[in-house]
A and B are shown apart, each in its own frame.
Chain A
Amino acid sequence: MAELRTDLPRVLAILASSDVCDRVEVPAGSALLRVAPNEAMLVGTDDADGVRADVPGATLVEVVSDAWTSLVLEGHDASEAFARVSELRVPEAGWLQGEVAAAAAKVIVEAGRITILVPANLVAHVEERIRADAAEVLIR
């Protein structure tokens, strides 16, 4: 079975040239998502000042936590539950982006846990779909 919970993540948006994005240091417990050559997301921190200090050439470093809500699937059947709403191939670990229940999402995969970052205005829809389509593998 798997457990589904929502979480309010801390997220930084970094808009910068590719080489500046390459220099971003990832704080412990955070994940760097290079969503485009000149754009990165740092998930797990809201220390915008720290990042600005690290990469002075960035055009914009800003806390965008409000834009995202996390849906976290945890447990043995986390992958099975995810497979009910997305065709994305889940790696052993890492991150990917694509469609989850018809919403554009970022997906971070760790051992036994899948974190789906969904635009906050779509989280109700995505959560409803996961709960309905993966009901048999979710802990109620």
Chain B
Amino acid sequence: MGSIEFESRPVTFRPGDTVASALYRHGVRTFSRSLKYHRRRGLYCGTGDCPNCSMTVDGQPAVRTCTVRCAEGMRVDRAGGWPNAERDLLHVTDRLHRVMPVGFYYKTFVRPRFAWAVAERVIRRATGLGALPSTASAERKVVRHVHVDTLVIGAGLAGLEATREAAADGSVLVCDEGRAARSAAPGPAPDPIGELRTAVASLEHVTLLDEATALGVYEGLHVPLARASELVHVYPSRVVVATGATEEHGVFPGNDLPGVMLGRAAAALAGPHGVRPGDRAVVVVRTEEGVQHLQTLIDAGVEVVATAVSPALVQRVPEGAGEIVPGSDVLEARGGSSLRSVVLRRDGRGKRFECDLLVLSLGLVPRDGLARMAIPDEDVTVVGDAALGVGNSGLGGLDGTVCLCEDVSVHDLEQAWDEGFRNAELLKRYTTTTMGPCQGAMCGRALSCFAVSRDATPAPSPVAPRTTARPPARPVTLETLAAGVHEIVDRRTSLNELHVAAGARLDRSGGWLRPFSYGDWREEYRAVRERVSLMDVGTLGKFTIAGPGAGDLVDRLFPCRTGDLEPGRTRYVLTLDDAGYVMDDGLLARVGENEWFLTTTSGGAGRADARLRNLADRLGLDAHVLDRTAQWGAINVAGPNARDLLERLTDDAIDAASVRYPGFADLSVAGVPCRAIRTGFVGELAFELHHPRRRGPELWAALVDAGRDWDLMPHGLDALELLRLEKGHVYIGQDTMPDDTPAKLGMAWAVDMSKRWFVGKRALERMAELPMARRHVGLEFSDRPEDTADLRGEPLLLGDAVVGRVTSAERSIVLDRAIGLGWVRAVDGGSPDRLRTGSGATASVVTTPFYDPDGGRMRG
């Protein structure tokens, strides 16, 4: 004996008890409230298919308690209902069918427009299956990928037989959801399964995976299996679906009253769990299995007052089955908080039987949703009860609940049909029948039968049309879906550990982990402007483009002239897409006759690699691309003393004539081979030292050591933000819009329209005929001297009209004024030059660069 906590009260359980069986023994009859009308719902299927016994177990909502074994101290709560599920005042909604018909949210609260916002909030509070845990899961679920020849989903008799056959042809993985064993329902006797399971488990190449739930069958084939601690992605050559069948859901008025129960649930309670499901029962038997259920109930001491039995099974009905009513249907179940009586059809009239239990063994419906997810050509077979057909035997009752999950009745389907939704798929979408947690396990057949029964075509299909099955086949937790998702993939330079040791504040930028500051970014800024500083720019995209067609490739890709670039010289390049929009920028260096070197933005490397290769392939050029982004690190040595610093570490000539601006030279710095590229991004004399990645720490240390006389300190992205802004350099992405052309950015100088062809040229030609709708400008701000950075993102106003936006803003240290960049829309054919920001600062359009406009410092 153990104890669980049910709504703060102790409930004892016996070995083998499920949560549902323990609660039933304890006297609980209302297991949940229905989603919409808050009707009482009792234990119903007992096999984990219907939603009725869903409760919150140890904080996890929507757990089918009929398939969860009790564990000591387990906390169980019913969800839904106000103030609680037992006494639920929201049950009043069951009287409001007229104002909440099916699809009511398409019709009501639509006008006035604010009404829906209010109604939605109320509806969300009044419905639902429980609250998601507000704290994160302590453990991350792991992922496993498995390749097998055959995956068998289901470890019942049919599944195990299929496994035995498949094992002769290769590896087999058997997915055993284990619901049948946990709910211990009769049906196929457990012993034959146990023996077969033991035999199958001993076969070579067979792996049994317990407690694994197949979530879907995806093309490929690919079947994800959810387990308690892991998500297993299975890639089989063949899938065998052996998921068995559910018992048929009976549809008649009152069919969802507590006390109405499917045969397997009643037999499981009465048999293995030793709980009498009721005192007086009416039993409906239409299957051989139903006869067993009936016997189990009688053996458990349940008084069976009447048995409605198929004529073919009359002779099989055991003693003690009460009044035998051959060929009868249930016309109605009556009761209040639980079942009180059942009306059976007898001799064309109704006969009422007082009872507190109605057991339905109506037949089997294949649990074949997984098989129906597979695309036709794939090797997916269905065996056992899962392969049963779904006959069109009619809906049965004139009313009653069709969809237990979504609270949809026959009346609702009638109404939807009358509104014109006249096939099973349309009814499904409009009424949400089959779209709840059970995914049609209970109601799918009933919906299809309804559609066929209303079909006026001369010869309606003898087989009920099935609606589309989609993953997930079973409810799945968010942490399972998130398993194996690598939401953050950080690239790191070879200097990462040095940055950490230096106390840098690292964060993500362009897919890299980068230093933003090493302490005081203003001091780092001053080091660049006044002395010398280092920055790790190993994140830049770096490519060699080589081969006889390399010259053609770069000439076709970039909009500027490239053919006149001499070896040793570099040129700033924009990358355009076919629409003429700016995608990226970088520096192109000519290394030799047929060799070029390209740097791109840190976040643009992957796309640049693909783009270069695509274009070479499209144009049939004999050009090769070598991505050196991971191979080479890069350190930018910047500041008025940059050359002095390098001179201490190299014997190579690095004067302005030897390493020209813009240009590069291959040097040895501190014994490390480097490609030194003169750059101007920060507006000072600067050398970007591209070097073998593994020697990066050695080079960095040598530079730091040699720079002590200048109180050298590295700078991070925070300082860079102001340094580049003072030069008026844009950050592609931050300062630009997806449809910015070079002209809009004021960079028409980077395009040579006289070139015969480059990517984006035709688009630029066409756009040149249009008036400029927007342009990127330099800005100076007044009235907001101290919190300039906050201006970033603010709208730019002309009068009350928004005509632009601030994309970058900082207070310049060297200029002692607030500066920024932004875009401004054309107004009346002109471009306004005096604007106001959203927070009231005055913004004046000015020319850039703000700092060292003639570039004398960087050319140094």
Chain A residues with CB under 8 Å of chain B are 8, 13, 15-17, 38-39, 59-60, 62, 64-68, 80, 83-89, 101-103, 119-122, 124-125, 129, 132-134
Q: Is the interface of A mostly helix, strand, loop or mixed?
A: mixed
Within 222-267 of B, Cβ neighbours of A (below 8 Å) are at 233, 235
Chain A residues with Cβ under 8 A from B493's Cβ?
121
A87 and B491 form a contact (CB under 8 A):
no
Q: Give min CB distance, A129 to chain B, whole Å.
A: 7
A64: which B residues are within 8 A, CB to CB? 626, 628, 631
Contact of B235 among A68, A84, A87 (CB under 8 A): A87
Partner of A83, one of B145, B486, B622, B630: B145
| Cβ B693 vs Cβ A67 within 8 A | yes
Question: CA–CA, A86 to B146, complex, Å?
Answer: 10
Q: What separation, in Å, do the CA atoms of A121 and B144 have in the docked complex?
A: 25
The residue that B546 contacts in the complex, of A8, A15, A68, A103, with Cβ under 8 A, is A15
| Residues from chain B with Cβ under 8 Å of A132 in the complex | 140, 142
B494 contact set on A, CB distance < 8 A: 120
Q: Shortest distance in angstroms between B500's beta carbon and chain A's nearest beta carbon?
A: 11
> What CA separation (Å) do A133 and B144 show in the bound complex?
9
Contact of B142 with A84 in the complex, beta carbons under 8 Å: yes
Beta-carbon contact of B486 and A129 below 8 Å: yes
Name B's A-contacting residues (CB within 8 A). 140, 142-147, 233, 235, 484, 486, 489-494, 496, 512, 538, 544, 546-547, 594, 622, 624, 626-632, 692-695
A86 to B496, CA, bound (A): 26
CA–CA, A59 and B142, complex, Å:
44
Return 6 A-B CB contacts under 8 Å, by A number.
A15-B547, A60-B624, A67-B627, A67-B630, A84-B143, A125-B492
B219 to chain A: closest CB distance in Å? 14
Known: A89-B235, A120-B494, A129-B486. A62 touches B143 (CB 8 A): no
Distance, CA A16 to CA B547, complexed state (A)? 9
Query: By CB atoms of chain A within 10 A, which of B492, B624, B626 has the most?
Result: B624
Contact B145 A124 (CB under 8 A): no
Which residues of A are found within 8 Å of B626, using beta-carbon distances?
A: 13, 15, 60, 62, 64
Contact B489 A8 (CB under 8 A): no
The chain B residue sitting closest to A60, CB to CB, is B546
Do B624 and A120 have beta carbons less than 8 Å apart? no
Q: Known: A13-B626, A67-B630, A67-B631. Is A122-B144 also a contact (CB below 8 A)?
A: no
Dominant secondary structure at the B interface: mixed
Which residue on chain A has the smallest CB distance to residue B694?
A66
A132 to B140, CA, bound (A): 9
Q: Are A38 and B624 in contact (CB under 8 A)?
A: yes
- Are A122 and B489 closer than 8 Å at their CB atoms? yes
Would B144 and A84 count as touching, CB distance under 8 A? yes
Q: Contacts of B486 on A, CB cut-off 8 Å?
A: 101-102, 125, 129
Tell me, rounded to whole Å, the shortest Cβ–Cβ distance linking A23 to chain B: 17
Complexed CA–CA distance, A65 and B692 (Å): 9
- A13–B630 Cα distance when bound, in Å, is 13
Asked whether, in the complex, the Cβ of B624 is within 8 Å of the Cβ of A83, the reply is no
Give the distance in Å from the alpha carbon of A8 to the alpha carbon of B692 in the complex: 13
User: Which residues of A are found within 8 Å of B145, using beta-carbon distances?
Assistant: 83-84, 86-88
Chain B residues in 8 Å Cβ range of A103? 489
Q: How far is the CA of A101 from the CA of B629 in the complex (A)?
A: 19
- Out of A39, A84, A88, A119, name the residue touching B624 (CB < 8 Å): A39
Given the known inter-chain contacts A38-B624, A66-B692, A66-B693, please indicate yes or no for A124 contacting B630, CB distance below 8 A: no
Residue A8 contacts which of B144, B628, B694 (CB distance < 8 angstroms)?
B694
Let me know if A83 and B144 touch, CB within 8 A: yes
Q: Tell me which residues across on chain A come within 8 A of B142, comparing CB atoms.
A: 84, 132-134
**B632:A66 contact, CB within 8 angstroms:** yes
B546 engages A59 (CB within 8 Å)? yes
| Cβ-defined contact, A121 with B692, below 8 A | no
The answer to whether B490 touches A124, judged by C-beta atoms less than 8 angstroms apart, is: yes
Return chain A residues, CB-CB under 8 Å to B694: 8, 65-66, 120
Query: In the bound complex, what is the Cα–Cα distance between A101 and B142 (angstroms)?
Result: 12
User: What residues of chain A lie closer than 8 Å to B512, measured between beta carbons?
Assistant: 121
CA distance A56 to B376 in the complex (A): 52
Tell me the smallest distance from the CB of A102 to a CB of chain B, in Å.
Answer: 4
A124 proximity list for chain B (CB < 8 A): 490, 492, 496
- A74 CB to closest chain B CB (Å) equals 19
CA distance A103 to B538 in the complex (A): 18
